[in-house]
Amino acid sequence: MAEAPGAHFDLTSAFRGVNVFEVQPVNEGRSVGAPLRYGFALHEGLQTHSCLGSRPSEEYNGTTELPLVDGRLGSTNYRDGEWVGYFGPSAFQGHFGWNETIKIDSIKINFLQSRLSWILVPEMVELDIYVEDDVLYRTEWFRKSTPSEEGTFIETLLVAPPGGFEATKKLTITIPNTEHLPSNHPSAGQSVWHFLDEVQIYGQYPQN
Ligand SMILES: [Ca+2]
């Protein structure tokens, strides 16, 4: 089989934030198959030493060493190898640390919903910014979607307080997973999946 030459993209010209490429294969002017989409994000979370405080499902654990801060974004295909999945009552907990103090402006996390596959956007997320080892500021985020919304879609958590967060070296994120499929679902009462990717952290390192 002949192989087409690969297209290369130099990351130095990428935008900070989310970048999406769409490629439509064509043959003699006609589209062949669905467009291929590839998304990635450049953010300060790429420089963390992070770890998962809870073990994801073995089937959905991302395909890289640090799947939540590798810059690669999960698509609407939940089997694309990017998503990190937790099946209730397993909750998510992650730690994100920096060697230097960072002033975080905003945090974004993508969540997938595909209710017929028992995947729901989590009801709430706790974000703890540590200003000292034992002093933290907690922010709670609540979803806008509902468990009854059909189809497959991504909802993005966005937390961006005016003036940004307090300077920190450590962020922890906790996502409880105690919800059950609602009464209007064919499998009502079953536990649900939470799928997340990526944890995007935008901020600046203070000038010395
Ligand atoms: Ca990722």
Give residue-wise pLDDT tens across range 33-43.
888 888 889 89
pTM over 0.95: no
Give residue-wise pLDDT tens across range 112-168.
999 999 999 999 999 999 999 899 999 999 999 999 999 999 999 999 999 999 999
| 68 Cα–ligand 1 center, Å | 4
- Do 187 and 90 share a structural domain? yes
- Do 171 and 114 share a structural domain? yes
Instruction: Count the domains in the chain.
Output: 2
- Do 108 and 54 share a structural domain? yes
DSSP readout, the chain?
A: ---PPPP---GGGSPSEEEEEEE--EETTEE-SSPEEEEEEE-GGGG-EEEESSPPPSSSB-SSSSGGGSSB---S-TTSS--EEEETTPPEEEEEEEEEEEEEEEEEEEEEEEGGGTB---SEEEEEEEEETTEEEEEEEE-SS-TT--SEEEEEEEE--TT-PPPEEEEEEEE----B--TTSTTTT-B-EEEEEEEEEEEEPPP-
- Do 66 and 15 share a structural domain? no
- Do 174 and 120 share a structural domain? yes
Higher pLDDT, 191 or 24: 191
Give residue-wise pLDDT tens across range 45-71.
888 888 889 999 999 999 888 999 999
Go through the chain and tell me how many residues it has: 208
Domain that holds residue 62: 49-204
Model pLDDT, residue 21? 81
- Ligand 1 (ion): which residues have CB within 5 A? 67, 70, 72, 197-198
- Do 179 and 110 share a structural domain? yes
| 126 Cα–ligand 1 center, Å | 20
- Do 84 and 26 share a structural domain? no
Distance, CA of 162 to CA of 80 (rounded, Å)? 35
pLDDT class for 10, splitting at 50, 70, 90?
Answer: low
- Do 21 and 119 share a structural domain? no
- Do 117 and 37 share a structural domain? no
- Among 18-22, 63-67, 105-109, name the most confident range: 105-109
- Do 84 and 12 share a structural domain? no
